[in-house]
Amino acid sequence: MVEKLASRFIGWISIVYIMVCTITSPAQAVVYPDTVNAHIDAEIERFVEAPGFFLLDPNYFGSPEWNSLERFPFGDSPYTGYRDWGMSDAGKGIMALEAFEPVLPHTRYRVSVRNVDGNAEYPNVARLIKVIRFNVGPALAANIQEIYGDQFTPSPVDIGVGRHVAYRFAMFSSQNLPNQIAAISYRVLSESEAQAQDCLGTPCLALTDPGDEDGNWTDISVDEDDDITPYRRRDHQGLSIPTRVADLLSGQKLFGEDLDMVISNNVIGQDMITNGVMLRQDNLQLIRRSEVAGIAAFWSTTGHNEASGETGMVDVIYAFQDGTEGPALRYSLLFETEGRPVQRYTVLTNGSNVLHSDGNTNFIGLADFPGHLYAHAPHDNLALAVWRQNAHMPADQLFAIRVFDTGRREAMGQHLGHELRLVASLPDAGADTYRVWTGPIWTIPNLPSAPGLQTLPGSPFSGHARGLSVVRHNVADALAAYGLIARAEITLHTGIGRERIEALLSDNTDNSRMSLNGTDRQIIRLRIGNLEQVEDGALGKVFDAPPRIAPGSWPGSSSAVAIPLLND
């Protein structure tokens, strides 16, 4: 039973508000009449205690766990300990749901925000927010299986195992304390219920978005850089997180306006795409935002004119479609791991696109997605993910990656090589120790890098053993700006204490000479040879038509890529 939640919550806000005003101004806090409080209480109770919903404790959102630096690294308030300022009702609802539910790689969110008026004198006193998260992974896997067959279908673990859930929130605002959660409840949806749900005219488990089939869309321009968010805006793929999409869409509505929105994350077309569609209730206008990782978002809208424009929707990404006309480099690449066969590749790259060939398979890397790698399936001209990185990335407080320039230089043919020192650490589960990847990396800054290198079978960072795949994207991003990696010797150490991690990361430490005292578990060496420049446009001649990046998995990705360690 939600007993006078609104009146108790508003009273609490009034106390905080009075404390703030005592410091900053003589203004008085708003106190609602008893009849208004009673009406709000009744509306909240009816909403959050709907049949089948279970109540949760709203005090969680005042706890240090919710207001942590891990969740809100950029959040701060001069008045309170709350770090979640600056979020929309819809965005906060999504982030609150994700605090209680496990991360899933392929999701769709349906969000509605409705205002509650106290009376004519007190409009928009509270908001009632519904957030439903659908796990679209199984539907996506079924579609992949139907089109591409069993061998390309991701495993249930890769595609995401999780439930469909509905959450309800009651929120209030007060000066400097926006959208505080007064009540929260949830329930689990069955598969049949999820299949029957509607998302702005489209089935919520469909692999299409609202407005895909009809509607006259016109491109619009939206400035996404004029605000500050308390959370990290992007995930490990470089995509805007659903909370960010909800905040951006909410910024296009009128104050106090009811809204409905649908946000699809890694559902439409391929991985690394997020689309958001919002229905403005004032004029039934649709506003859509579509984003591919590494590429600026597209915005479009309906309802302003009859002319049909570009939709701005991105549902297909092609590899080797652009940037293949200029000069390219060709060289041999090999990885040496103690006790294992040497893995060799012939590499063709111009920095924007790269092709690694082991004689049997062509592996494609794209500069827009440096931590990803795709294998070419010639019979369908598809580019399929070699390793599906769906794991949730740890917070920055839990792992660290740094690249140091040691200042050492070495002649490498007609080029000058620069020695770097890599330090990447990740905590061991259930222990106060870390595993550390460290070692020298020689690069040639004036030659283009080879995106996707970290994911190649045999790479020091390609295996899933002991969390290497979690680090891989971050290593790729950290090294992408340093040019061509010509030589490296990466050692994995285990059981390293926090103090030694801090020393390794310190600018005052000679990392090239620091010993980790026999903690090494694995050494992988990289080197290139036969470096030569080839004719202009060589990359454009590799494929008759640009391969389409598809949502399937390369057969045998897990076993082909993994480099297990002793005793794993």
Each residue's pLDDT tens digit, 126-140: 899 999 999 998 888
CA angle 126, 128, 129 (to 5 degrees): 135
Boundaries of every domain in the chain: 34-291, 317-386, 400-446+467-527
Paired with 362 in beta bridges are 357
* Lowest pLDDT segment from 325-339, 444-458, 499-513: 499-513
The pLDDT of residue 207: 85
| Residue closest to 61 by CA, chosen among 102, 85, 89, 96 | 96
The pLDDT of residue 516: 67
3-state helix vs strand vs coil in the chain, percent to 5 = 20, 35, 45
The pLDDT of residue 18: 31
Each residue's pLDDT tens digit, 75-97: 765 445 677 877 889 999 999 99
On average, the pLDDT of the chain sits at 75
Determine how β-strand 374-377 pairs with β-strand 382-385. antiparallel
Of all residues in the chain, the percent with pLDDT exceeding 70 is: 72
The pLDDT of residue 97: 96
Strand order in 484-497's β-sheet?
400-412, 415-427, 433-444, 484-497, 520-534, 328-337, 343-349, 353-357, 362-366, 374-377, 382-385, 548-553
Confidence of residue 315 (pLDDT cuts 50, 70, 90): very low
Backbone angles phi, psi at 352, to 5 degrees: -80, -40
Sequence-separated (6 or more) residues with CB below 8 Å from residue 348:
328, 329, 330, 354, 355, 357, 534, 538, 539, 542
SS3 539: helix
Whole-angstrom Cα distance, residue 342 to residue 524?
A: 10
Sequence-separated (6 or more) residues with CB below 8 Å from residue 109:
94, 131, 132, 133, 134, 242, 246, 261, 262, 263, 265
Residue 120's Cβ-count burial label (10 Å; 0-12, 13-18, 19+) is exposed
Confidence of residue 191 (pLDDT cuts 50, 70, 90): very high
Q: What average pLDDT score do residues 401-408 get?
A: 84
